[in-house]
Amino acid sequence: MHNVVISGTGLYQPPHTISNAELVQAFNAYVDLDNAKNAAAIEAGQRVPLQHSSVEFIEKASGIKQRYVMEKDGVLDPTRMRPRFAERADDQLSLMAEIAVDAARQALAAAGREAHEVDAVICAASNMQRAYPAMAVEIQQALGAGGYGFDMNVACSSATFALEQAYNAVRSGASRCVLVINPEITSAHLEWKDRDCHFIFGDVCTALVVERADEAKSVDQWEILGSRMATQFSNNIRNNFGFLNRSEDSDPEARDKTFRQEGRKVFKEVVPVAAAHIESQLLSLQFEPSAVSRYWLHQANLGMNQLIIKKLVGADAGSEVAPLILDEFANTASAGSVIAFHRHRADLKSGDVGVICSFGAGYSVGSLVLRKR
């Protein structure tokens, strides 16, 4: 068995931001248009009028202040309410592959590696642009990487579950250098017309290089001391979009074909599961939760992260213990904990221990305990 390190990370940041104020203004314009269109049915008591959203609610309930998106005009057009992307020809690089290649090149540069030294590419995200060929194989070719590539999806836990695959492949000697890439274009699968969730998600792509410790040459290496994954079925976060829709003659615009959730239930059920998961993994590695210098947690909700940290270390989550990036990025599905790791580790010193942990749809929880070399 080989020791394994994360030796580089990369972050692709989309070109556009949407502030809560911009988002709410567009949403409320959509609500007014929809209510005017359905005035007669509302008047007759046959339809419930849609309600306005508010910046105050969004910031208080979630901690989110803005989000990055690949395309902004379509999202903010009250007659459209979703991004506007141009279809690309088969011989052009796909949109997901384009942002993946950008993040991957940054991660490779940070690791001091060339693409041809990579022998596996895992594209792990909440949504794939197409059924096949696998996004990872297109990314592998665009980068000039060797070996093989495959796609995987465990929603918000896609990155941590992929890291475990990479860790095991390198540990066992099956691979030497694995790229884990998380292109999350959540804006295309968010229901921007639903005030309960229209503020939740943002677009981004993260990438990590996982390789043998004895071959790594970057100045910033994080040894993976262990990884742990768990799943428990729940319908509380669900999206029924899929390849059977066409044969079921179902409405492609129906509400169940985009992201939906019972946010309150998710909050209540996932917090204790995630806290217990991290604690038991740390104890199995002989670490007390208070000995951990940093928790790079999944970024879905500020209150959730504060409660998890309170359960683990008995104090309110100071940003030095569990850094927050969702105020700037919103929930970026699987990429959130990786963005936190990418942005908030430079101040840690050799021997410091940290935990990357994701939690979300499935339900799924994935965690990795890391030590700076």
Question: Which residues does the annotation mark as catalytic?
Answer: 156
Contacts 24+ apart (CB under 8 A), 58-61: 58/20, 58/23, 58/24, 58/199, 59/20, 61/301, 61/303
As given in the structure block, the two tokens for residue 109 are: 């540069």
195's tokens:
């005030």
Contact mark string toward ligand CO8, 159..188, x via CB under 6 A: ---------------------------x--
Mapping DSSP to helix (H, G, I), strand (E, B) and coil, where does residue 312 land? helix
Residue 146 or 263 having the CB closest to ligand CO8: 263
Q: 93: which DSSP letter?
A: P
| Percent of the chain that is helix, strand, coil (3-state, to 5) | 40, 20, 40
Q: By Cβ distance, which residue is nearest to ligand CO8?
A: 360
CA 313 to chain centre: 25
User: Restricting to residues 82-141, which ones interact with ligand CO8 according to CB under 6 A?
Assistant: 126-127
By CB under 6 A, the count of residues binding ligand CO8 is: 31
Does position 360 interact with ligand CO8 (CB under 6 A)? The reply is: yes
**Residue 329 C-beta: closest distance to ligand CO8, Å:** 13
Residues 259-288 that bind ligand CO8 (CB under 6 A): 259, 261, 263-264, 266-267
Question: What does the angle CA 325 – CA 183 – CA 77 come to, to the nearest 5 degrees?
Answer: 80
Q: How far is the CB of 247 from ligand CO8 (least distance, A)?
A: 23
Please state, in angstroms and as integers, the Cα–Cα distance from residue 67 to each residue in 15, 137, 259, 357, 372, following that order.
Answer: 11, 29, 17, 21, 30
Tell me: does residue 201 bind ligand CO8 (CB under 6 A). Answer: yes
Q: Output 260 or 294, the one with its CB closest to ligand CO8.
A: 260
**Measured in Å, how far apart are the chain's first and last C-alpha atoms?**
18
Among 139, 163, 361, 370, binds ligand CO8 (CB under 6 A): 361
Question: Can you give the binding site for ligand CO8, defined by CB under 6 A?
Answer: 53-54, 57-58, 61-62, 126-127, 155-156, 186, 189-190, 195-196, 199, 201, 237, 259, 261, 263-264, 266-267, 300-301, 304, 331, 333, 360-361
